[in-house]
């Protein structure tokens, strides 16, 4: 009996194992293979040696990704907090409003930011008419606002596109948390700030960690946002990888860049997790 | 100065148009163990939350040592709560959970350590300082919750069905332990439960509630021996509640027989509810009996047999150490001091008949804890 049931357990798990091998392990191995071989298939570390040339791009990508993630967190946290404290009807409306843009095509969303931010676009012209007004009335000569093709525009694109991935995990964690814990903290003499600092915040750390991961990873490796909103001035590592595969046809360099990027992201997240673990345990 | 620590005056609370508490007046004395007892949805948890400050009354006032505390937030009240599901902080270990309240008060680390150590001794969990909350059993979590509340030295401890989630054996132990802690520390305990046995064995005073109205306030013996109406008689222990007529002072007629009793002051021929506890009925041979009936069921309960006897269409429950065969006719004697007369109330006729015994019993013993939380 026992043997049979354990066999069944093994068999029922097999589709997932096959899936994991086929779509996770094999591609990873292929990336690693390309990263450490040249065009003829011989082993080489030349690709890896070239990577130092792209150090600035790596740093810029991680910096902008980090910036976008932190901005997302700053916007998302209060929003999630407010959402979780509302009645069920308001909650579902707000969740809907947050999800709705995600159903629109990603490229379309980014493209529309181009028209908002470009020099004759909606936002830019609105801001410039304000600038003109100030210049005329105060007799100043401020420069007209320029938004598109800046790093700021790229970060705006990242924040806009990935914000829901920060809100939803934090909101879910807050929703699940036990209301009586807040009451217990109040009961023991905690005012609103004490309760937030000692109970609500540490308990929402898992949501912050997963939100951080879900925003940081796509932000660091994006290429479309930087192409459309960053112009030629903001080349991210994603753009370079794309070029290696699409135009330069250098799979090996592309693969090694991806490989290094993967390791860097892994390190960032490990640091983040480490930090949050300490935080959760010690905060008081 | 009276020694009332908490006073509730003309309190009313309604949720979504539904009246939860209706014009309640209550005085709680310092250092007493008082229990709010009642079925789910009777308003007992709401009353507790009002005292704790989690709920504001729609009308009426709450006083603490003579001072009105309406609108005072929970963290500024000198009382602490043990929550239904303990509400321990999962991100903190046992030590930090207990130290929580002291840290908020910016107590020096040395004093915290001393106080927490003392508490761990009190609750018998020495050496558990670094343990995770999730690694503790229900009883241990319960005790940490008690320590966490007591370490801040509250004047009053509020306990919201604290033993509901524990198994029977542990519950009994914890009852004794709680009562001991209360005596030793000399602070007021306000206890909420739907378990009448728990209320009887621990309390100095019991407040029986139903539908947001206090039905009776008294000591456990008062409540058990002199219930005010059919609801109280039925909710506290087992009762046969029979319709009777007062023939004169000290004489009541029920089940076709005139019984001598100890009650007076009713009108002649006034209809009343008569309470006879199952353990106060004696089984005798039919020829020596006051009344007799046919046994319809018998259940062995260990110490005694629980026998259901049908007498003139009404099913009595009696407890006897002797076996009686189903279908046999037995005689019963009820002594005057076993009879308690109550005035008719809105509850008359609703309780005290054992013809639908099994369902009623289930309803009482498995009263839902969750419903109360909704209040």
Of B191, B225, B259, the position where a domain reaches its end is: B225
Query: Would the CB atoms of B96 and A284 count as touching at under 8 Å?
Result: yes
Query: Is A101 within the bounds of a domain?
Result: yes
Q: How many domains are contained in chain A?
A: 1
CA distance B322 to chain A (A): 50
Measure the CA–CA gap between B343 and B353, rounded to whole angstroms.
Answer: 17
**pLDDT score recorded for residue B368:** 45
Tell me what ipTM this predicted complex has: 0.78
Residue B231 domain flag? no
Tell me, what DSSP letter sits at residue A43? Answer: B
Same domain, B166 and B138: yes
Chain A interface mutation, best of B15, B16, B74, B162, highest count of A Cβ atoms under 10 Å: B74
B85 to chain A: closest CA residue: A180
Q: Tell me the β-bridge partners of B24.
A: B11
Query: Shortest Cα distance from A277 to chain B (angstroms)?
Result: 10
**Residue matched to tokens 């009482």:** B364
* Full domain range(s) for residue B186: 4-225
- How sure is the predictor about B372, in pLDDT bands with cuts at 50, 70 and 90? very low
Residue among B87, B90, B152 minimizing CB distance to A189:
B152
On whether both B299 and B332 belong to a single domain, the answer is: yes
Whole-angstrom Cα distance, residue B97 to residue B125?
Answer: 13
Same domain, B165 and B274: no
Distances (CA, A) of B131 to B37, B91, B127, B340, B371: 35, 11, 9, 53, 32
Q: Are residues B177 and B289 in the same domain?
A: no
* pLDDT of res. B362: 47
Please report the pLDDT score of residue A50 as a whole number.
Answer: 87
Quick one: which of B190, B194, B165 has its CA closest to B178? B190
B75 contacts on A by Cβ (under 8 Å):
186-191, 194
In a domain, A214, yes or no: yes
Tell me the pLDDT tens digit for each residue of B28-87: 999 999 999 999 888 899 999 999 999 999 999 999 998 999 989 999 998 999 998 889
Neighbours of B132 (CB within 10 A): 12
Report d(CA B351, CA B223) in Å as an integer. 16
- Name the H helices within chain A: 2-20, 26-35, 46-50, 55-85, 88-99, 106-117, 122-138, 151-176, 179-187, 192-195, 201-221, 224-230, 237-246, 251-282
What does each C-alpha distance from A275 to A264, A279, B179 come to in angstroms? 17, 6, 44
Q: Which two structure tokens, joined as six digits, stand for A172?
A: 């879910």
State the pLDDT at residue B263. 87
Residue B62 lies in a domain: yes
Has residue B107 been placed in a domain?
yes
Q: How far is B123 from chain A (nearest CA, A)?
A: 19
Is the Cβ of B265 closer than 8 Å to some Cβ of chain A?
no
Residues B220 and B323 in one domain: no
- CATH number of the domain that B365 lies in? 2.40.50.140
Element containing residue B222 per DSSP (H, E): helix B220-225
b/e per residue B43-79 (b: at least 16 CB within 10 A): bbbbbbbbbbbbbebeebebbbeeeebeeeebbebeb
* Tens digit of each residue's pLDDT (9 = 90 or more) over B219-274: 999 999 999 988 999 888 888 998 899 988 899 998 888 898 888 888 888 999 99
DSSP 8-state code for residue A73: H
Opening angle at CA A68, ends A62 and A73, nearest 5: 120
CATH of the domain at B128: 3.40.50.300
Q: Do B75 and A187 touch (CB under 8 A)?
A: yes
CA distance B223 to chain A (A): 32
Encode pLDDT of A159-209 as tens digits.
Answer: 999 999 999 999 999 998 888 999 999 999 999 999 999 999 999 998 999
Residue A259 lies in a domain: yes
Whether residue B296 is contained in a domain is answered as yes
First to last CA, chain B: 34
- Is the same domain home to B155 and B262? no
Quick check: is A65 in a domain? yes
DSSP code of residue B132:
B
B313 and B357 together in one domain: yes
Question: Are B300 and B333 members of one domain?
Answer: yes
Give the largest Cα separation in chain B, rounded.
79
Q: What is the pLDDT of residue A3?
A: 56
Same domain, B151 and B129: yes
B144 close to B124: Cβ distance less than 8 angstroms: no
| pLDDT tens-digit readout, B247-259 | 888 999 988 888 9
The nearest CA of chain B is from the CA of A44 a distance in Å of: 49
Q: Which residues of B touch A190 (CB under 8 A)?
A: 75, 104
Whether residue B157 sits in one domain with residue B117: yes
Nearest by CB: B104 against A189, A203, A205: A189
What is residue B82's three-state secondary structure?
Answer: strand
Q: Which of B50, B104, B109 to mutate to test the interface with A (most CBs of A within 10 A)?
A: B104
A104-113 LR contacts (CB < 8 Å, sep 24+): A106/A161, A106/A224, A107/A224, A109/A160, A109/A161, A110/A157, A110/A161, A110/A224, A110/A225, A110/A228, A110/A229, A111/A228, A113/A153, A113/A156, A113/A157, A113/A160, A113/A228, A113/A229
Whether residue A14 is contained in a domain is answered as no
Kindly report, residue by residue over A19-50, the tens digit of the pLDDT: 999 999 999 999 999 999 988 888 888 888 88
Q: What pLDDT band is residue B360 in, cutting at 50, 70 and 90?
A: very low
First to last CA, chain A: 52
A10 domain residue, yes or no: no
Q: What is the CATH number of the domain that holds A153?
A: 1.10.3720.10
The B18-29 sheet, strands edge to edge: B18-29, B4-15, B59-64, B67-68
CB A203 within 8 A of CB B90: yes
Q: What angle do CA B13, B17, B21 make, to 5 degrees?
A: 25
* Cβ-defined contact of A180 to B84 (cutoff 8 Å): yes
| Number of structural domains in chain B | 2
From chain B, the residues in CB contact with A174 under 8 A are none
Best CA proximity match to B294, nearest among B331, B334, B242 = B331
Among B46, B55, B91, which would you mutate to test the A interface (most chain A Cβ atoms within 10 Å of its Cβ)? B91
CA distance A275 to chain B (A): 15
Residue B244 near residue B341, CB atoms below 8 Å: yes
The verdict on A183 touching B (C-beta cutoff 8 Å) is: yes
Domain-located, residue B215: yes
Give the structural domain span for A168.
54-282
Domain membership flag for residue B233: no
């Amino acid at each position: 009996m026992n043997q049979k049931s354990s066999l069944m357990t093994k068999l029922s798990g097999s589709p997932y194992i096959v899936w994991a091998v086929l779509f996770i392990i094999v591609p990873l191995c292929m990336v690693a293979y390309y990263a450490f071989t040249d065009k003829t298939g011989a082993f080489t570390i030349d690709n890896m040696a070239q990577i130092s040339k792209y150090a600035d791009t790596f740093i810029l990508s991680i910096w902008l990704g980090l910036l976008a993630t932190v901005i997302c967190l700053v916007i998302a946290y209060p929003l999630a907090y407010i959402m979780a404290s509302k009645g069920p009807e308001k909650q579902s409306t707000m969740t809907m409003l947050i999800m709705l843009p995600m159903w629109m095509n990603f490229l379309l969303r980014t493209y529309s930011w181009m028209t908002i931010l470009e020099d004759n676009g909606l936002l830019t012209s609105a801001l410039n008419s304000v600038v003109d007004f100030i210049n005329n009335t105060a007799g100043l000569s401020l420069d007209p606002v320029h938004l598109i093709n800046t790093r700021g525009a790229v970060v705006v694109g990242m924040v806009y596109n990935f914000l829901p991935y920060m809100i939803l995990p934090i909101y879910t964690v807050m929703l699940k948390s036990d209301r009586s814990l807040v009451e217990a903290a109040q009961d023991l003499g905690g005012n609103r700030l004490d309760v937030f600092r000692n109970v609500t915040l540490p308990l929402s750390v898992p949501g912050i960690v997963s939100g951080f991961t879900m925003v940081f990873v796509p932000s660091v490796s994006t290429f479309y946002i930087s192409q459309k909103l960053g112009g030629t001035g903001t080349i991210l590592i994603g753009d370079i990888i794309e070029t290696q595969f699409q135009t330069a046809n250098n799979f090996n360099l592309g693969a090694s860049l991806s490989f290094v990027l993967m390791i860097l992201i892994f390190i960032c997240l490990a640091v983040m997790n480490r930090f949050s673990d300490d935080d959760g345990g010690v905060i008081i | 100065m009276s020694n009332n620590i908490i006073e509730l005056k003309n309190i009313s609370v309604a949720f979504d148009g539904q009246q939860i508490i209706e014009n309640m007046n209550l005085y709680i004395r310092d250092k007493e163990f008082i229990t709010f007892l009642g079925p789910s949805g009777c308003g007992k948890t709401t009353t507790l939350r009002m005292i704790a400050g989690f709920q504001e009354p729609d009308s009426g006032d709450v006083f603490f040592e003579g001072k009105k505390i309406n609108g005072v937030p929970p963290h500024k009240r000198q009382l602490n709560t043990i929550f239904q599901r303990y509400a321990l902080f999962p991100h903190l270990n046992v030590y930090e959970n207990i130290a929580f309240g002291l840290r908020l008060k910016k107590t020096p680390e040395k004093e915290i350590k001393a106080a927490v150590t003392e508490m761990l001794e009190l609750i018998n969990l020495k050496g558990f300082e670094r343990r995770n909350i999730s690694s503790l059993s229900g009883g241990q979590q319960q005790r940490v919750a008690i320590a966490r509340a007591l370490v801040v030295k509250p004047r009053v401890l509020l306990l919201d069905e604290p033993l509901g989630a524990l198994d029977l054996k542990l519950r009994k132990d914890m009852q004794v332990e709680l009562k001991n802690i209360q005596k030793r520390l000399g602070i007021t305990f306000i206890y909420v439960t739907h378990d009448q046995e728990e209320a009887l064995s621990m309390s100095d005073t019991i407040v029986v509630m139903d539908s947001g109205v206090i039905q009776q306030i008294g000591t456990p013996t008062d409540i058990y021996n002199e219930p005010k109406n059919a609801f109280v008689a039925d909710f506290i222990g087992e009762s046969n509640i029979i319709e009777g007529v007062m023939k004169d002072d000290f004489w009541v007629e029920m089940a076709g027989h005139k019984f001598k009793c100890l009650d007076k002051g009713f009108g002649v021929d006034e209809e009343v509810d008569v309470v006879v506890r199952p353990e106060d009925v004696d089984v005798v041979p039919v020829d020596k009996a006051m009344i007799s009936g046919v046994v319809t069921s018998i259940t062995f309960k260990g110490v005694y047999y629980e026998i259901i006897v049908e007498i003139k269409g009404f099913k009595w429950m009696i407890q006897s150490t002797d076996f009686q065969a189903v279908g046999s006719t037995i005689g019963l004697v009820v002594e005057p001091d076993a009879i308690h007369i109550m005035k008719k109330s809105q509850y008359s006729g609703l309780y005290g008949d054992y013809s639908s015994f099994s369902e009623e019993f289930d309803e009482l013993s498995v009263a839902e804890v969750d419903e109360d939380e909704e209040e």
